[in-house]
Chains A and B, each alone.
Chain A
């Protein structure tokens, strides 16, 4: 199956600093990637759609200035949490759409646990 790698898997940062999370498709090119946020014992909430070479599309209620998304190549999308605060602490997960089988199957990274102290 397609492999999506996310880095780092765990990060602790101080309040007010910025954190960058990387999402890479290792064995395929992905023109579209997605970023999700997951709180403990809850479902995945879509934050934004990342399109290679264009601006990200954010879901309603997601602050685009706080969650900066860059999809600079067909294998890499990054999520930067700017001026992080404790309420931004969460599990962030990316997915990449595998171009086979009609551009439908989404494969997920292993997630990044962000803790803001």
Chain B
């Protein structure tokens, strides 16, 4: 019940296209859902995050869509660029703890 399932495992998108990564969770007590971007050999960097009382949040080219009833949330990267090529992790947190349960990760490759 503590799992967060992420798909797809890998994704190839053409420059300018939309990248979509999906996550699903079981524990309805999760109340904070961040997305992290990680480059090889580096720590994850916070991209954008959402709470369950909001269905969508947009920051620049990054949008989170949240479906509370389906217990799913997704990351959309608009106008994808080669510099976006990285591994993306969704996560979920319970309460104001900062303790994160991570999805399995998605390796995104944006082709020029």
Contacts and interface: CB of A to CB of B under 8 A. Distances in A.
A109 B43 CA distance: 6
A48 B107 CA distance: 26
A93 B96 contact: no
Contacts of B73: none
A46 interface: yes
B99 A49 contact: yes
A106 B43 contact: no
A103 B31 CA distance: 13
Interface residues of A, number: 29
Interface of B: 32, 34, 36, 41-46, 49, 89, 93, 96-105, 107
Nearest to A96: B98
Contacts of B99: 34, 46, 49
B43 A110 contact: yes
A55 B93 CA distance: 22
A27 B49 CA distance: 21
A97 B43 contact: no
A108 B45 contact: yes
B24 to A, nearest CB: 15
B41 A113 contact: yes
A5 B100 CA distance: 19
A78 to B, nearest CB: 17
A103 B96 contact: yes
Contacts of A103: 96-98
Contacts of A95: 43, 98, 100
